[in-house]
Structure 1
Amino acid sequence: MSDKLSRRHFLLSSAAGISSLSLASLGSAIAAPAAEQASAAVRGGKLSTLSTRQVSTDDLDIGYHEAGPENGRPVILLHGFPYDIHSYVDVVSLLTAQGYRVIVPHLRGHGTTRIRDKNALSGQQAAIGADVISLMDALHIPEAVLAGYDWGGRAACVVAALRPTRCVGLVSVNSYLIQDIAKASAPLPASVEHGLWYQHYFQTERGRAGLQANRRDIARILWKNNSPTWAFDDATFERSAKAFDNPDYVDVVIHSYRHRMGLAAGYPAYEDMEKKLATGPVISVPTITIDGAADGVIAATDGKSSAAKFSGPRQHRQIPAVGHNPPQEAPAAFADAVIELVRNGKWRT
């Protein structure tokens, strides 16, 4: 172990008291309605943006935002499709106010994250899960609370299930998100298929061409359909839409949706991990699952249908009038879940 890593471990241990801070210390900010919290993204009349830095792994050059003290308890926040790191612009502020070290990476195919091997433009669940582990290794983070929604929630579930020693706690929107590829072609109720129209569209070459030509228009439609109660403005959308200009975007997105429906082969590097995921591994780490009551993709549930997939402590919460992107639509509620897991987590380092 390097001197730098040893020193970080010592500092993490000595700073354990940070995680015991009361949620009440956030004052009225944490209790404010989500609509009021969203205004924190605008400071001095200008929309806030998250700065990024780069780190290299064997497979990726990852763009990520980092905030908070280096010796704070680490939290990794993972965005979905078609979104970017700015889903967490307000959550970051709430978490750093508690003294946490917050990492928000662009997922593969988004923002400044680049895939090194252009013959391996995978979007499968094993790939995005492996990316999180590689990021943690590159940043010398032995364990963290992982939180995400959509693709990011799936990546967090993959790590929590297969590498539980790296995950102190999990926040997952829409509960258990590890996919059973073998059952992907099974028919779903029409009400569910309606919300997944784009996934069927992307199975076709017309869908690939459409995404290539109209990536912003498709993303805007999805934002509106996914979160019908969220009144985002043009500036907020455009801030995130820049992330879709990534040259790997179309290939990664198309492979993701074709692989999950069994219509594209996985990449050999992820075969062993996919075999483990195919067994539907149970998640044992402390978990808080969240549903937006107005989610236009996956209808909110009481959490009971997925209860068997969680063997550790698990809470399920519904957030009223919130859609598919809870961290941006209701940052206080999302941060609340993360803070609870950090504060109560059994940290080993």
Structure 2
Amino acid sequence: MREVTHKIDANGLSHFVRDSGDDDAPVAILLHGFPDSSAVWGKVTPLLVAAGFRVIAPDLRGFGHTDMAHKVSDYDIATGSVPDILALMDALEISNAHIVGHDFGAPVAWTLAAQHPTRYKTLTAISVGHMRAFLDAGAEQKWRSLYMVFHQLLGLCEAAYRFNNWALLRKHWSAHGDINEAIDLLGRPGRLTAGLNWYRANASLKRMIFTPPVGSLGEEIVSIPTLGIWSAGEKYLTEQQMIASAKYVDAPWRYEKIENASHWISYDAPEALAQIMMQHWRLHA
């Protein structure tokens, strides 16, 4: 499998990007979440490339080997990460792609698909549904999201996660497929705070409680074919918030539930995940 890595200057930061497959193959852009990097797609990428796709997997801002931004507000999805991905596509001369997001990568993908439908053939949202559906999912989802309140505590959260060889982080994210690698990356100076700033910029109490302004992240309708994927072993997100996302898609919608997988489907069920995504892409090529 051909895989190269790029360091691309875009939107004021240097971005690390994994680029796998033939240059002229259909492109799929895979976006990770917390506490991950593009390495989270390591089991899925070879399957997609073998089937004839080119996979672009960047480290999102602040994660992995991509630069950290300076302010909490720099991690706002709509004004930070969305322009990042568009700039990376332009730098790689990719005019059109399938967009995929997991965890925090999912709201980035939802927003890209909603705001720039001509740049994407399809959307695949893994684990996290449309932000409006997430916010309206009820008491169980709010209970599952309580850890996001803890993530707002600048300094205290960092100290608690680092204490006793990262014992709390290891416990909370216990299903992670390679938690030691994730901790190695987060353990570098400033990196844990950078990752937590995604929550501070996008999942603050204000955003969790109050409706975002019209036209901002969480209100827009997606007009391209969309696939929602949720796993039966999901700890942090309810099935309802994914199923209800259909209300915010004015295009073909498909929902798939994967059994025997945790939040990290790409580690636990890479073959099933790859097959479901490729069926979606080929149907809407």
Q: State whether TM-score is above 0.5.
A: yes
Q: Are the aligned partners of 1:122 and 1:252 in contact in 2 as well (CA < 8 Å)?
A: no
Bigger RCO of structures 1 and 2 (CA < 8 A, at least 6 apart): 1
Q: Are the aligned partners of 2:231 and 2:259 in contact in 1 as well (CA < 8 Å)?
A: yes
Task: Return the alpha-carbon distance in structure 2 between the equivalents of residues 253 and 211 of structure 1.
Answer: 15
Give the Å deviation of 1:208. Answer: 3.9
Q: Out of 275, 285, 310, which is 2:224 matched to? A: 285
Q: Are the aligned partners of 2:227 and 2:255 in contact in 1 as well (CA < 8 Å)?
A: yes
Task: Return the alpha-carbon distance in structure 1 between the equivalents of residues 224 and 119 of structure 2.
Answer: 10
Report what 1:8 is aligned to.
Answer: none
Q: Out of 254, 258, 273, which is 1:319 matched to? A: 258
Q: Are the aligned partners of 2:111 and 2:217 in contact in 1 as well (CA < 8 Å)?
A: no
With normalisation by structure 2, the TM-score equals 0.84
Moved more, 249-258 or 84-93: 249-258
| 1:161 partner amino acid | A
Give the Å deviation of 1:139. Answer: 1.1
- Residues 1:192 and 1:93: Cα distance change in structure 2 (over 3 Å): same
Report what 1:142 is aligned to.
Answer: 95
Q: Are the aligned partners of 1:123 and 1:253 in contact in 2 as well (CA < 8 Å)?
A: no
With normalisation by structure 1, the TM-score equals 0.70
Report what 1:177 is aligned to.
Answer: 130
Q: Out of 229, 244, 249, which is 2:191 matched to? A: 249
Report what 1:239 is aligned to.
Answer: 181
Task: Return the alpha-carbon distance in structure 2 between the equivalents of residues 279 and 322 of structure 1.
Answer: 27
| 1:124 partner amino acid | D
| 2:280 partner amino acid | L
Q: Are the aligned partners of 1:111 and 1:245 in contact in 2 as well (CA < 8 Å)?
A: no
Task: Return the alpha-carbon distance in structure 2 between the equivalents of residues 152 and 144 of structure 1.
Answer: 15
Q: Out of 70, 77, 83, which is 1:125 matched to? A: 77
Give the Å deviation of 1:104. Answer: 0.9
Alignment of 1:215-234 (within 5 A): 216-224=166-174, 227=175, 232=177
Report what 1:298 is aligned to.
Answer: 237
Unpaired runs of 5+ residues, structure 2, are none
Q: Percent identity?
A: 24
Unpaired runs of 5+ residues, structure 1, are 1-49, 266-272
Provide the alpha-carbon RMSD of the alignment: 3.0
The structure with the larger Rg is 1
Task: Return the alpha-carbon distance in structure 2 between the equivalents of residues 187 and 343 of structure 1.
Answer: 31
Between the two proteins, the alignment pairs up a number of residues equal to: 277
Deviations 1:261-288 (A, max 9, x none): 44689xxxxxxx9862256111111111
Secondary structure, aligned partner of 2:260: coil
Task: Return the alpha-carbon distance in structure 2 between the equivalents of residues 130 and 156 of structure 1.
Answer: 12
Deviations 1:280-306 (A, max 9, x none): 111111111011011000122495422
Secondary structure, aligned partner of 1:103: strand
Report what 2:150 is aligned to.
Answer: 201
Secondary structure, aligned partner of 1:277: coil
Task: Return the alpha-carbon distance in structure 1 between the equivalents of residues 146 and 278 of structure 2.
Answer: 35
Q: Out of 177, 200, 209, which is 1:258 matched to? A: 200
Report what 1:102 is aligned to.
Answer: 55
